[in-house]
Amino acid sequence: MQKVLLLFGNFIWSDPLARMTRSERLQTVHSDALLEFDRIQSAMQGERQQCLEDRRFYSIAGAQWEGALAEQFNNKPRFEVNKIQLSVMRIINEYRNNRITVDFVSKAGDENDKMADACDDLFRADEQDSSADEAYDNAFEEAVGGGFGAFRLRSEYEDEYNDDDDHQRIRIEPIYDADTSVFFDLNAKRQDKSDARLCFVLVSMTRESYIEEWGDDPASWPKEIHQWEFDWATPDMVYIAEVYRVEEASELIRVFETIDGKEERYTERDFDGDDTLERTLDAIGTIEIRQKRVKRRKVRKYIMSGNSVLEDSGYIAGACIPIVPVYGKRWFIDNIERCMGHVRMAKDAQRLKNMQLSKLGEISALSTVEKPMFTPEQVAGFEMMWAEDNLKNYPYLLLNTITGADGSEQASGPIGYTKPPQIPAALAGLLAVTETDMNDLLGNQAAGEKMVSNISGKAVEMIQTRLDMQTFIYMSNMGKAVKRCGEIWLSMAGDVMVERGRKMKGVGQQHELRSIELGRPVMTEAGEIEYENDLSKAKFDVAVEVGPTSSSKRAATVRALTGMLQLAPDPETQQVLSAMAMMNMEGEGISDVRSYFRKKLLRMGVIKPNDEEQQEMLAEMQQLQSQEDPQAMYLQSASAEMQAKAVKAQADAVYTAARTEETQAKTAETLAGIEQSERESVLKTARDLQKIVAGPEMR
């Protein structure tokens, strides 16, 4: 069949069915889907049936006696001491005490990526609004019990009854009985099924509901439909299937370099729609530097029955099949995917234990008292006396005499006594062996409940760690499923959360609420306008953290911090350690205490604040600057006055020193003047004396 190109959205899709009419295309899709589903269901039927039996075995009363085993105990006691259920519930409770959530991480390694933080909050909000915990819990329980579970993501309008509201959010919903309803194509080998190209989700309906909703009567279906191995219509139920099919496309990207060194990208479709584009690029000096072919993918959804395609839902949001599988334990053997949970290996030991306890109960129900045996003639007329002996406590009991062979009457006692039932020694030994085997197979989870109070904290930690590692495989597989959930959510969010200016609810790590505006315009330092929280450009890695249970980790952290308090060198370090210990405490109302000590550590500069905390700290600083404490203002004023006085005193000292130097200079000048006048006076006096001595000749 010749392939043609089908234009959808911004991409060119290769669709071999495009030349057909809609009716012919849907008929071809239906026939291909029937063939593919029959192939998948036939290959997986045996494994999935075992998963269903395992879930029934531990969860339904009486299911442990189903099959040929029950026939051997007809009209006999059949006890169930369901230890497997207790072990499964311990694992489930450990998971519920250690919720796993996603963390969107920047591909560039930026720790302060605001869009990544916004995606974290939006994802948590969608989890909260859609009650995602129910979907996670159901999938995890089915995976632990039977080996396979699943949940789904779906986009829906926020208000489906409002014609003017086109805003969508993403919901996380459970899929019940996933082992008999969810089937991926056989070529998908990855555990998260990210490489799957086809997926079926079966939904069962009563005949009346099916006819009412779809207007199709299974009684009118062609006989050829019933030749498939899977029966799409039974006397009581009708099955319909949601079909998710991946369609891929390729797009040629041409990269040009402008005269100022910038790169511009164009698609072949841009040139096909504008004949002058290439000439325009040549005229402005743009040079083509490389070409790149990019693959795109979309997912198309159909709803079908065994008779026809009931609905063509078109392309869904995102580029991933929105079905997330959850496995207990998983292998590929003989090119067939095989899985099991926590139940299968312990089923035989549980059956053996039930048989032994039932046999023991049967033996114990028999009387342990030696009863006398008489002939009918001996108790004739006294039957009620012997029967009511235990009730009325007769002082004596009567018997008839026995007539001997010679006709004489002879007194005689019981002809014999019954023996009490004996418990075989092998049964007691087998019970002990069975109990040990079950503890080994189930992981001996009860060991943690037997820890006494006087053992050390290190011993408690070692025991708890060992118990956690026995169930770590289930936590790890659930972590892979939640990681895949985050990837699918991010792909869908890029299609449904793109309205600029739309305000959405976000939920923080401590369940605090905040408003997130999509596509908010901001001015960069270069003077260009960018749009914050544009999820259409969100490209992040998804990370999850899986480890021992949070309770055990926090308890170990508190013990370590408490021990470090004794080694703290100063009170400030002790305050830090105490605050960190309080943040790891658990209990009723502890969230408020954690919030208080987190703020305390923020003020001390020990931990880094998030965006909201930075804004709060900035607002507090501004408030303090605008409304300062009067006492602080007085102290500040007094300090300023003292500084002013000190400056004045210093200035006075400098002035005094200058005046002193000036005085010293004037004094020296005066002294110098005095010395000069004295010298002139002495010289005048000496000249006068010379004239007197010389006489008249000198005059």
Q: What does 42-109 look like in DSSP terms, one character per residue?
A: HHHHHHHHHHHHHHHHHHSTTGGGTTHHHHHTTTS------HHHHHHHHHHHHHHTS----EEEETT-
Q: How confident is the model at residue 482 (pLDDT cuts 50, 70, 90)?
A: very high
Given a contact cutoff of 8 angstroms between Cβ atoms, the answer to whether 688 and 680 are in contact is no
For 230, which DSSP code? Answer: S
pLDDT mean over 630-639:
58
pLDDT at 424: 77
pLDDT at 580: 79
Q: Is 575 exposed, middle or buried (0-12, 13-18, 19+ CB in 10 A)?
A: middle
State the Cα–Cα distance between residues 666 and 660, nearest whole angstrom: 10
**Averaging pLDDT over each range in 124-138, 400-414, 501-515, which range is the top one?**
124-138
Regarding beta strands 263-267 and 287-304, do their DSSP bridges make them parallel or antiparallel, or are they unpaired? Answer: unpaired
Q: How confident is the model at residue 365 (pLDDT cuts 50, 70, 90)?
A: confident
Q: What percent of the chain has pLDDT over 90?
A: 29
pLDDT at 8: 38
**Which candidate, 448, 557, 543, places its Cα nearest to that of 93?**
448
Residues belonging to the chain = 699
For 314, which DSSP code? Answer: E
Q: How confident is the model at residue 636 (pLDDT cuts 50, 70, 90)?
A: low
**Which candidate, 156, 180, 159, 160, places its Cα nearest to that of 170?**
156
Given a contact cutoff of 8 angstroms between Cβ atoms, the answer to whether 52 and 179 are in contact is yes
pLDDT digits (tens, 9 = 90+) for 119-132: 999 999 999 999 89
pLDDT digits (tens, 9 = 90+) for 126-169: 999 998 999 999 999 999 999 999 999 999 988 777 777 788 99
pLDDT at 671: 45
State the Cα–Cα distance between residues 617 and 523, nearest whole angstrom: 24
How far is Cα of residue 92 from the mean position of the Cα atoms in its chain? 14
List C-alpha distances in Å: 511 to 116, 120, 158, 487, 494.
Answer: 17, 12, 21, 22, 24
pLDDT mean over 555-565:
74
Q: What is the mean pLDDT of the chain?
A: 80
Q: How confident is the model at residue 639 (pLDDT cuts 50, 70, 90)?
A: low
pLDDT digits (tens, 9 = 90+) for 575-598: 787 877 777 776 666 767 777 777
Q: Which of 27-36, 349-358, 680-689 has the lowest mean pLDDT?
A: 680-689
Q: What angle do the packed helices 590-604 and 571-583 form, to 10 degrees?
A: 140
For 319, which DSSP code? Answer: S
Coil, strand or helix at 390: helix
Inform me whether the pLDDT recorded for 110 exceeds 70.
no
Q: Find the DSSP H helices in 187-258.
A: 207-214
Greater model confidence, 602 or 626: 602
Q: How confident is the model at residue 38 (pLDDT cuts 50, 70, 90)?
A: very high
pLDDT at 654: 53
pLDDT at 172: 96
Inform me whether the pLDDT recorded for 289 exceeds 80.
yes
Q: Does the CA dihedral 616-622-623-625 come out positive or negative?
A: positive
Given a contact cutoff of 8 angstroms between Cβ atoms, the answer to whether 139 and 174 are in contact is yes
Inform me whether the pLDDT recorded for 696 exceeds 80.
no
pLDDT at 137: 95
Coil, strand or helix at 307: coil
pLDDT at 10: 41
pLDDT at 694: 55
Whole-angstrom Cα Rg for the chain: 46
Inform me whether the pLDDT recorded for 339 exceeds 90.
yes
pLDDT digits (tens, 9 = 90+) for 395-404: 888 888 887 7
Greater model confidence, 24 or 594: 24
State the Cα–Cα distance between residues 320 and 306, nearest whole angstrom: 25
State the Cα–Cα distance between residues 145 and 582, nearest whole angstrom: 37
State the Cα–Cα distance between residues 244 and 198, nearest whole angstrom: 6
**Which candidate, 154, 463, 107, places its Cα nearest to that of 324?**
154
pLDDT at 670: 47
Greater model confidence, 455 or 35: 35
Given a contact cutoff of 8 angstroms between Cβ atoms, the answer to whether 80 and 361 are in contact is no
**Which candidate, 3, 10, 15, places its Cα nearest to that of 269?**
10
Q: How confident is the model at residue 193 (pLDDT cuts 50, 70, 90)?
A: very high
Inform me whether the pLDDT recorded for 459 exceeds 50.
yes
Residue 157 is inside which H or E element, if any? Answer: strand 148-157
Given a contact cutoff of 8 angstroms between Cβ atoms, the answer to whether 85 and 64 are in contact is no
pLDDT digits (tens, 9 = 90+) for 290-317: 888 888 889 999 999 999 999 999 999 9
